[in-house]
Structure 1
Amino acid sequence: MSKGLFLARSFYRAGHKVIGLDFERSYIPSSGRFSNTLSWHYELPNPVTNQQKMEYIAQLVEIIERDRIDLWVCVSGVSTTVTDALAKSEIEARTSCKVFLFQPETCETLHEKNLFIHKAASIGLDIPETTTIRSHEEALAFLKGKKPEHYILKSIWLDDVSRGDMTLYPRPNFEETTVLIMSLSISTDKPWIFQEFIRGDEYCTHAVIVKGRITAFVACPSSDLLMYYEPADLEISQRLLEFTRIYINSLEDGYITGQVSFDIMVKRGVEANAEPILYPIECNPRTHTAVVLFRNISGALADSYLDSLKDFGKEVCIPDPTTTDSLYWTGHDVVTLLLLPLLNLSGILGGLREFTLHFFFWRDATFEFWDPLPFLFLYHVYWPGLFLRSLLTGRRWSRVNVSTGRVFEY
């Protein structure tokens, strides 16, 4: 993941010893393990089953004790956040290491879309209309008589097939609505939510929080598959910062430590002086890729995490939008701006123009001259290896997120 690599580089450049912990999938190592910033790298079992989760936590404790680690900053994936939160209790009970992560109950509240929205409503924040459904019949009953194309449908749990599906419900034709609903895996064990579709500007945030105090914060314009990172302007950034403060103050008696990222729709009024309305739509209780926007002030970012060990008492660290580099991923641009236009014989000049702009005036989020191996491994081994695996196994995929190293499979 780009975010894990960036944090490793930030701590390294601030003068700290950095050890990498990861679990490998498909026998293809992550590119970050080859970074010059890591003193050592450990592979851990992928915690899927209960037995694997126990082994994962036990190995974490063993490594932390053996290497005398002071601080574990969790850069969890979607599927392991709660497991890492459970490990936090064991680690802090048996070692002197501090774990930069929320309590398991807090992670669950923030991670599950319905619980997150209910919490926001309970503290008086504006929310999109949200309804949990647990059967096809319940879904169809909810949609009867509703305004056409007013809701989107999301799985509460991780679901690569439906992720990114922006179909609006109900469809103009109720037969079409029924066919689409019946094709989804909706059950008591796999609930979904209908959420009011808010038309506005989407933003994502990343906040570092120590004992209830935000020590680092960044916001940027967002989209369903965000591959270009630029900081939001100061005015909207301050509004999103205040939203974050209000929400986190309602968690763990306001004495919370960890990382959180919000996806928020900003609906602006028709009148020029109208106050924008912020609608939270999702939350991730973990590191967001937007952390790469601290590139020009990585030392201050490292200090914002270390506040959990020693209270520096500094002001919240926020990247200056006038001096922060805009970031892109070369692999994504090569495919979307060069190869696809050539294959489609459409938009070739426009793609070439945008690629040139990014190449000369933006910064690649992975490449560093002083630490080149992760970039080289990413595009010469990691991605070719994943695509070769898909060809050999027949696994189908719908899209790729180069920034997170993730393939969305059918």
Structure 2
Amino acid sequence: MLLALAFPFNCVAVLLALVWSWVSRPFHKAPVRVKSPKNILIAGARMTKTLLLARTFHAAGHRVILIDTEKFWLNGNQYSNAVAGFYTVPDPQKDLAGYTQKLQAIAQQENINLFIPVAIFSVVYPEGMEQHPLAGYCEVCHFDVAVTGMLDDKFAFAEKARSLGLSVPKSFKITAPEQVLNFDFSQEQRQYILKSIPYDACRRLNLTKLPCPTPEETAAFVNSLPISEKTPWIMQEFIPGQEYCTHSTVRSGQSTLYCCCESSAFQVNYEIVDNPQISEWVRRFLKGVDGFGQASFDFIQTPDGTAYAIECNPRTHSAITLFYNHPQVAEAYLDPAFSGEPLEPLVNSRPTYWLYHELWRLNEVRSLSQLQTWWRNIWRGKEAIFEVNDPLPFLMVHHWQIPLLVLDNLRKLQSWIRIDFNIGEVIR
């Protein structure tokens, strides 16, 4: 109902943007012409970070093709001016052979030069896969099986960082509830939290502190989690402090693209932060990482300045939306000879936000000062999806993609927790 109420306003904004684009077209800069334009394939069409990359490569004179799993045939980003084509592929977790065959066919048909995985379905190597399906077809911006497995496994990542002398929270790998229930918390100075090692979009936001007030509550919580040998969890020391997130595009142990922002469990606002302790931590860790890929680190920094890395995701971070006005992002991905300091968001880059998330947050405003803070975030920021010269994704994500996903949940009588306009999903 709320989306329906917002629909006419969105339509007016998009219509005005389309008219303005048409009227001002003679005054636009001539399209960029590169000597050797590339064909770029990006996986995760439903996500805002995919749209950012598509617009960036398109602005640099390259051709962009998007893919996503069959569930997201309805994604709104395929209507962007920056997108030359869109395909659906089978979910590799359900049909690995079909996914591989379709992906390779797309790469051949579109003469793809570079593949960038953004959504998790295209990042995680399914069991038994020894190399990426597009190895030999094009360059792949993704680490090999061993490196990806280490970065994606929260416990293995923590052990690797610790071996390099880098600060990480105390961690334990959990494969059975009894390991937690028999743990002697009385010897610990801090509480602990449990996180699933395989990606869990729903439970990743559950930061229940252990032990709970009573043994019975602890047992009830731990036994409610799907902990097993096949679905291991990590019990990690909870360190209070300021959270940060980073994105790095990495080639041969060196960042070519880097940004750092303050963070939170459910992050829908990004603003540039200069944090030397974290950037040095990232530099030291990545120095020993071979290959070409992406790494997104999450940190907690204590009041004494110590930065603890709590996990790493080997894929694009949504904080990359801060590069919306940077003209060299494509170079950071395409130039194998890129050297020197990594590209960072421009100094005039504004914080990014998602308008529909901000509108929903109005129901949390309880005072005039809170309202002023909310308005200040809008006024000084940049809407992550909307572009005057490319407005259709703003309409189609909010009033096609998301409503159809909500209606599909209703059809199946499935409950859901929240709508995430950033990643373009209804989280169950």
Superposition TM-score tier, normalisation by shorter sequence: 0.7 to 0.9
Please list every run of 5 or more consecutive structure 1 residues that lacks an aligned counterpart in the other structure. Answer: 270-275
Q: CA deviation at 1:379?
A: 1.2
Q: Secondary structure at the match of 2:280?
A: helix
Please list every run of 5 or more consecutive structure 2 residues that lacks an aligned counterpart in the other structure. Answer: 1-46
- Aligned residue number for residue 272 of structure 1: none
CA offset digits 1:198-254 (Å, max 9, x no partner):
111111000111222211110000000001110113xx1x33222122112223xxx
- Aligned residue number for residue 201 of structure 1: 242
2:127 and 2:194 map into 1 onto residues whose CA distance is: 28
1:354 and 1:180 map into 2 onto residues whose CA distance is: 36
Are 1:65 and 2:108 matched, yes or no?
Answer: yes
Letter in 1 for 2:297: F
State which of 285, 295, 305 in structure 2 corresponds to 1:247.
285
Q: CA deviation at 1:28?
A: 5.1
CA offset digits 1:331-371 (Å, max 9, x no partner):
1111121xx34xxxx62645643443344331100000111
Range that drifts further, 154-163 or 283-292: 154-163
- Aligned residue number for residue 212 of structure 1: 253
Are 1:304 and 2:350 matched, yes or no?
Answer: no
Q: CA deviation at 1:17?
A: 1.2
Relative to 1, partners in 2 of residues 1:91 and 1:401: Cα closer, same or farther, differing over 3 Å? Answer: same
- Aligned residue number for residue 389 of structure 1: 408
- Percent identity over the alignment is 35
2:343 and 2:198 map into 1 onto residues whose CA distance is: 33
- Aligned residue number for residue 355 of structure 2: 330
Are 1:23 and 2:69 matched, yes or no?
Answer: yes
Relative to 1, partners in 2 of residues 1:216 and 1:398: Cα closer, same or farther, differing over 3 Å? Answer: same
State which of 312, 319, 322 in structure 1 corresponds to 2:345.
319
Letter in 1 for 2:345: P
Letter in 1 for 2:299: I
CA RMSD in angstroms, aligned pairs only: 2.2
Q: What TM-score do you get using the length of structure 2 for normalisation? A: 0.84
* Cα contact 1:76–1:84 (8 A) shared by 2: no
Q: CA deviation at 1:146?
A: 4.4
Q: Secondary structure at the match of 2:74?
A: coil
Counting only pairs closer than 5 Å after superposition, residues 41-56 of structure 1 correspond to structure 2 as 41-49=86-94, 52-56=95-99
- Aligned residue number for residue 312 of structure 2: 283
Q: CA deviation at 1:281?
A: 0.4
- Aligned residue number for residue 189 of structure 1: 230
Relative to 1, partners in 2 of residues 1:348 and 1:9: Cα closer, same or farther, differing over 3 Å? Answer: same
Q: CA deviation at 1:48?
A: 1.9
Q: Secondary structure at the match of 2:51?
A: helix
2:340 and 2:177 map into 1 onto residues whose CA distance is: 52
Relative to 1, partners in 2 of residues 1:384 and 1:353: Cα closer, same or farther, differing over 3 Å? Answer: farther
CA offset digits 1:11-50 (Å, max 9, x no partner):
000111111122231x65111111111111111112222x
* Cα contact 2:323–2:345 (8 A) shared by 1: yes
Are 1:362 and 2:388 matched, yes or no?
Answer: no
* Cα contact 2:93–2:126 (8 A) shared by 1: no
Range that drifts further, 155-164 or 9-18: 155-164
Q: Secondary structure at the match of 2:405?
A: helix
1:69 and 1:84 map into 2 onto residues whose CA distance is: 26
Range that drifts further, 395-404 or 199-208: 395-404
Q: Secondary structure at the match of 1:394?
A: coil
1:173 and 1:360 map into 2 onto residues whose CA distance is: 46
Letter in 2 for 1:261: S
2:341 and 2:179 map into 1 onto residues whose CA distance is: 49
Range that drifts further, 10-19 or 61-70: 61-70
CA offset digits 1:124-155 (Å, max 9, x no partner):
11111101122122111114534586101111
Q: CA deviation at 1:98?
A: 0.7
Q: Secondary structure at the match of 1:20?
A: strand
Q: CA deviation at 1:116?
A: 0.9
* Cα contact 1:202–1:265 (8 A) shared by 2: yes
Q: Give aligned pairs, total.
A: 382
Q: Secondary structure at the match of 2:65?
A: strand
